[in-house]
């Protein structure tokens, strides 16, 4: 209720509500707010939610929480607080306690790679039998995590919450709000290492999620190297009531897969204890991510047949190894869009997928269009040099084109130019409209094209140019 919100936040009414005001959730975006929700005006870099209170009211907001004393629509109940971001966390923490008194179980997912996919896999499996919700998109920060909790229903059987970090201490703060019943750490790698001292520091950040596990909780830990060596020393002090399951490809894990086969549609694998799964996702790393979903499903006492059937329905999320066939027949190419984000580990995994993906025709090439990896700090140049060695090892005797975009990938291009034929390596300092067309012109029929870069590169801007290029394949052929 509105009065309960005032008591929890310690705020004061600028415009008091009617006793009949009904609240149905919380939102911070006036463009997507639904009728009955509370609009919380958040201030950030380059935006101020207070400017959109009137728009939220027009869209059906039942009240607003603000921290600036302005003139707001007289028909809208307005609660004034000192800090709207802090208030969002306070509301989520209070609501989490309410959910705890019911039967809702919270599963939190973190890791250097694979958080969003693993979260979606878990949600898909549990939804085959139970009612629940998950983080929308990559809502994994100090705003997204509270919103995920606050918009869950008290009748939900589960919530799957994605928890991210790019600075020390963020996960510990979010974990106290989430207070998970089960916590998943997919892996530990060099993502955002520019803000951390080392991989050990990143491991400490990720395992902070375990410190807020509820009594008798479940810890699911990526158990392949180097993650296991980084995480294992940090969990020695976990309470004995916490159940720990290691998962991964290695047989040293509690839940593992000895082998898997891949084709253009995804992966087929069997777990060490006999569960057969056909997964509609590319990459061995996604098989590992699926094991976390298997473990959570079993924790919810789901049978293996239901779990397997649910995993078979999974499809790639946008810009995460999302495969699209552009064009028809011999005048087409395959686009593997993995442009959502990148770090050294995820780049290696994406290139492994490109290497294994079947070429539709022997004349087609594997084309890696790669942009800069950000937030690597002093290791930026070194990691991009390593990328060159990885590419060189991956594609011996294969027709390949490597296209690099950005100032950091210049290091990659310079190394490969000394080792590959000159026509196989191209570099562009930045991506603009002219460059997108130039890159698209490099592509030909039957090519298998991978897009991969950090989010700030927005490499998906290439997609329209690639589509135009494929549309011209037939016209070009006729002219010839």
| Overall average pLDDT of the 349-357 stretch | 93
How far apart CA 145 and CA 395 sit, in angstroms, is: 41
Give tens-digit pLDDT for 79-103: 999 999 999 999 999 999 999 888 8
CB atoms within 10 A of CB 279: 24
How far apart CA 133 and CA 438 sit, in angstroms, is: 43
Question: Phi, psi at residue 350, to the nearest 5°?
Answer: -65, -40
Q: What pLDDT is stored for residue 363 in this prediction? A: 81
What is the residue whose two structure tokens read 């990938």?
Answer: 409
Give tens-digit pLDDT for 223-246: 999 999 999 999 999 999 999 999
| Overall average pLDDT of the 68-86 stretch | 94
Q: Are 469 and 441 in contact (CB under 8 A)?
A: yes
CB atoms within 10 A of CB 407: 13
Q: What pLDDT is stored for residue 192 in this prediction? A: 66
Total-model pTM: 0.92
The sign one gets for the Cα dihedral 340, 342, 348, 349 is negative
Q: Rounded to the nearest 5 degrees, what angle is found at the Cα of 148, between the Cα atoms of 310 and 21?
A: 125
How far apart CA 154 and CA 152 sit, in angstroms, is: 7
Task: Let me know how long the chain is.
Answer: 480
How far apart CA 235 and CA 209 sit, in angstroms, is: 11
Could you tell me what percent of the chain has a pLDDT over 70? 97
Give tens-digit pLDDT for 460-476: 999 999 999 999 886 65
How far apart CA 239 and CA 229 sit, in angstroms, is: 20
Q: β-pairing, 47-48 with 43-44? A: antiparallel
The strand pairing partners of 38, in sequence order, are: 26, 63
Asked if residue 64 has pLDDT above 50, the reply is yes
Asked if residue 477 has pLDDT above 80, the reply is no
| Overall average pLDDT of the 162-173 stretch | 92
Q: What pLDDT is stored for residue 188 in this prediction? A: 93
Give tens-digit pLDDT for 285-320: 999 999 999 999 999 999 999 999 999 999 999 999
């Amino acid at each position: 209720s509105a009065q309960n919100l005032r008591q929890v936040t310690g705020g004061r009414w600028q415009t008091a509500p009617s006793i009949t005001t009904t609240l149905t959730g919380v939102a911070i975006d006036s463009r997507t707010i639904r009728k009955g929700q509370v609009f919380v005006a958040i201030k950030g870099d380059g935006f101020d939610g207070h400017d959109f209170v009137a728009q939220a009211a027009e869209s059906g907001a039942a009240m607003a929480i603000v921290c600036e004393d302005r003139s707001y629509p007289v028909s809208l109940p307005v609660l004034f607080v000192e800090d709207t971001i802090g208030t969002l966390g306070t509301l989520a923490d209070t609501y989490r306690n309410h959910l705890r008194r019911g039967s809702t179980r919270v599963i939190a997912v973190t890791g250097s790679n694979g958080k969003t996919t693993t979260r979606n896999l878990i949600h898909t499996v549990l939804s085959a039998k139970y009612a629940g919700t998950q983080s929308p998109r990559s809502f994994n920060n100090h705003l997204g995590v509270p919103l995920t909790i606050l918009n869950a229903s008290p009748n939900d059987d589960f919530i799957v919450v994605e928890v991210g970090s790019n600075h020390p201490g963020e996960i510990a703060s979010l974990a106290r709000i989430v207070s998970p019943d089960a916590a998943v750490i997919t892996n530990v790698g060099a993502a955002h290492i520019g803000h951390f001292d080392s991989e050990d520091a990143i491991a400490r950040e990720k395992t902070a999620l375990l410190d807020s596990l509820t009594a008798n909780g479940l810890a699911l830990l990526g158990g392949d190297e180097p993650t296991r060596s980084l995480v294992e020393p940090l969990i020695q002090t976990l309470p004995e009531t916490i159940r720990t399951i290691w998962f991964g490809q290695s047989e040293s894990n509690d839940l593992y897969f000895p082998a898997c086969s891949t084709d253009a549609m995804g992966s087929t694998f069997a777990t060490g204890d006999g569960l057969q799964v056909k997964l509609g996702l590319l990459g061995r790393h996604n098989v590992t991510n699926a094991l976390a979903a298997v473990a959570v499903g079993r924790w919810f006492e789901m049978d293996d047949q239901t779990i397997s059937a649910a995993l078979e329905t999974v499809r790639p999320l946008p810009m995460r190894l999302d495969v699209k066939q552009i064009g028809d027949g011999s005048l087409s190419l395959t686009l593997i869009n993995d442009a959502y984000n990148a770090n050294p580990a995820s780049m290696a995994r994406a290139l492994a997928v490109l290497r294994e993906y079947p070429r539709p025709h022997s004349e087609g090439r594997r084309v890696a269009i790669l942009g800069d990896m950000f937030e690597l700090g002093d290791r930026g140049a070194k990691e991009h040099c390593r990328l060159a060695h990885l590419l060189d090892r991956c594609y011996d005797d294969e027709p390949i084109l490597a296209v690099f975009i950005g100032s950091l990938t210049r290091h990659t291009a310079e190394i490969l130019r000394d080792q590959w034929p000159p026509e196989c390596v191209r570099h562009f300092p930045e991506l603009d409209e002219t460059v997108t067309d130039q890159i698209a012109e490099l592509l030909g029929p039957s090519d298998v094209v991978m897009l991969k870069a950090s989010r700030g590169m927005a490499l998906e801007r290439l997609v329209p140019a690639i589509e135009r290029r494929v549309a011209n394949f037939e016209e070009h052929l006729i002219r010839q």
